[in-house]
Amino acid sequence: MWQIGCARTDITPPVGIWQAGFGARTSPSTGVHIPLHTTAFVIGDGTRTAVVCTNDLVGLSRPEIERIRALAAERCDGLDPGDILVCCTHTHSGPAVSTYLRGQPKDLGYIEWLCGAIAHTIVEAVGGMQPATLHRAEGRVEGFNHNRRDESGYCEKRLAWLEARDADGGVIGGIVNFTAHPTMLTGQNLLLSGDYAGVLTQELSRELDAPVGMLNGCHGNINAFPRAHTDLGIVEDHGRRLAAEVLRLRDGLVEVPDGDLDVRTRMVELTFGPPQPRALYEEIAADTEQPGYVNDWARDVLARYQGDPVDGSEQGEVMVIRIGDVAVIGIPGHAFAEVGRDIVAALPGLFVLNANHANDYLGYFGTREAHAEGGYEIEFAYRFNSSFRWAMDADTTERIQQACIDLARG
């Protein structure tokens, strides 16, 4: 049997904190729709322990990830910080917490508390580990999401579920894997919320009386549907209906055979296309017609990169946790749905759970076709949440995708 422990903690910040996700917001939060949570799912095979920790947040950058890993590992004997996967649902109604996110002020005191709270939840889950079996199920659902760039384009409809049970058959915890931006609530919403993803895990945690977290799949070009704007009822109905689909999946649960637990990582080169003249960034930094966060991005680029023209690559971590025939795949940004589809197709015989915004918050990994078309994700979004000199190119996406496949195959 596996050794599994799960824990879930409320991480809702104080009302008045600024929210992340929509640059058009001009006011801080005014209330709470539903509490935000961190959920830790810890599994061991007697020789190694791995952690999957999901959070109702837009994203966490590398400095926060490293802080969480260090805090948790120093309090858990035998837990390697490199065996901890920390990811976010990408709700656009949670607090501004990422180091590189621009546009809204950040509460540094809350961020410090948050890192400690997430680490404490991991420690709690480790402390609760017990003999357990693991079960999985998957299906397809319609009417919950759509391709936001092309209504006729590919949209990921897969819904997957992983459930841990104790020796008596009781539920210890679970992980749901679905693919869609949690942007049903738009920039007009000033209530802190996990959006549909928060409702989904809240409903499942209540129904199963056990901690449940969500891994958001490759949702770079996928939105939840329909948009609710500020209509909380639409969001709540969406999350409850999706939870009901998960509960139906449980009728077909299959036990995951005992096997090896392994954690594999690879640092992948991130490249950005042709170098740009330094004068271009100086011009953008001084352009008063640009939003302030674009000016800030250009200044950060000038500080980060030396030389003229501005050139250089970066690194991003891909992580795969193999649990027998289950592969939890951590991607450090939001990949397009076609990337997730192709990863699953390349891994027959494995039960794949793609987790975006895992161990970093790097931006969009678009397909080669998307780069040819352009659009928000390709041409502009990187200025909002990174200090990179330009958008990551299609070669980067293909390296990320191949790393996921290689690591999962072992």
Where do the DSSP E strands lie in 188-259? 191-192, 212-216, 222-224, 254-255
pLDDT at site 111? 97
pLDDT at site 1? 87
pLDDT at site 384? 81
**Residue 219 has which token pair?**
């949702």
- Ordered by start, the domain boundaries in the chain are 2-261
Q: Which of 323, 287, 272 is nearest to 162 (CA)?
A: 323
pLDDT at site 277? 97
Which residues in the chain come in under a pLDDT of 50? none
Say which DSSP state 395 is in: H
Give me Rg for the CA atoms of the chain: 20
Q: Which residue in this structure is represented by tokens 């656009």? A: 92
Where do the DSSP E strands lie in 110-153? 130-140, 145-147
Strand 326-331 and strand 351-356: the pairing is parallel
Q: What is the mean pLDDT of the chain?
A: 96
Say which DSSP state 268 is in: E
Q: How far apart are CA 385 and CA 395, in angstroms?
A: 20
Asked if 166 and 206 count as a contact pair (C-beta separation under 8 A), the reply is no
pLDDT at site 25? 86
Burial category of 209 from C-beta neighbours within 10 Å (exposed 0-12, middle 13-18, buried 19 and up): exposed
Burial category of 88 from C-beta neighbours within 10 Å (exposed 0-12, middle 13-18, buried 19 and up): buried
Q: How far apart are CA 38 and CA 5, in angstroms?
A: 14
Contacts of 294 (CB under 8 A, 6+ apart): 284, 287, 383
Q: Which of 204, 177, 186 is nearest to 52 (CA)?
A: 177
pLDDT at site 291? 87
